Amino acid sequence: MTRTREALIIIVSAPSGSGKTTVINRLLEKMPGMRRSVSYTTRQPREGETDKGDYIFVTVEEFREKIEKNEFLEWEENFNNYYGTSREQVLEAVEKGEDIILSIDVKGARKVKEVFPQSVSMFIMPPSVEELEARLRKRNTDKEAQVSLRLEESRREMEAADEYDYLIVNEELEQAVEELRAIIEAERKSREQNSKKEEK
């Protein structure tokens, strides 16, 4: 099948504890053709996380070396750990015309939008701050100080929600996934139509 449009870069941000990873994993099950950008991080893997599946886990030295070599499309220090998007992964998707989803924070999203203004950004909101706190505590993998840090950062991130193209409230998992899927399908169609118009 020849592609009639350019690759879609989808940015998804959400405060930690909003269920973002679950939403994205479920979305990827439903949309098998979609790539996921696997970020580099210096944080320790959580239980169940796999290297190269969830993140590419590296040491601080390795991360700094990659900064030096300009290997990141964007990178941030978050919760005392580094996180970065691989330039190579995104450019490869763009070159091949394959849609790619980036799960990154608000600052990272701003940078990617700057480089790729045609990207589509979505913000996933938890149903309430109380629910967010409950989810963060339930996860129980982070120490109390980390929970407080993340909660504070989450509040700050939610203030940036209106900078995004779309806002999704994760009240119920399947419904949130369906909303994301519908937005992506609609964006694909509208871009296909635009590129057809440009061809004429």
Q: Using H for helix, E for strand and C for coil, what is the string for 32-95? A: CCCEECCCEECCCCCCCCCECCCEEECCHHHHHHHHHCCCEEEEEEECCEEEEEEHHHHHHHHH
Using CB under 6 A as the binding rule, whether residue 39 contacts ligand 5GP is answered as yes
Q: Footprint of ligand 5GP on residues 9-38 (CB under 6 A)?
A: 16
**Whether 14 contacts 123, CB under 8 Å:** yes
Q: Which of residues 44-73 bind ligand 5GP (CB under 6 A)?
A: none
Give the number of other Cβ atoms within 10 Å of residue 43's Cβ. 14
Backbone angles phi, psi at 121, to 5 degrees: -115, 140
Q: Which helix (H) or strand (E) holds 103?
A: strand 100-103
Residue nearest to ligand 5GP (CB): 108
- Site for ligand 5GP, residues 72 to 91, rule: CB under 6 A: 74, 76, 78, 83-85
- Residues 99-138: x where in contact with ligand 5GP by CB under 6 A, - otherwise, as a string: ----xxx-xx------------------------------
Nearer to ligand 5GP, 83 or 164 (CB): 83
Report, in Å, the least distance between residue 99 CB and ligand 5GP: 18
Binding site for ligand 5GP (CB under 6 A): 16, 39, 43, 74, 76, 78, 83-85, 103-105, 107-108
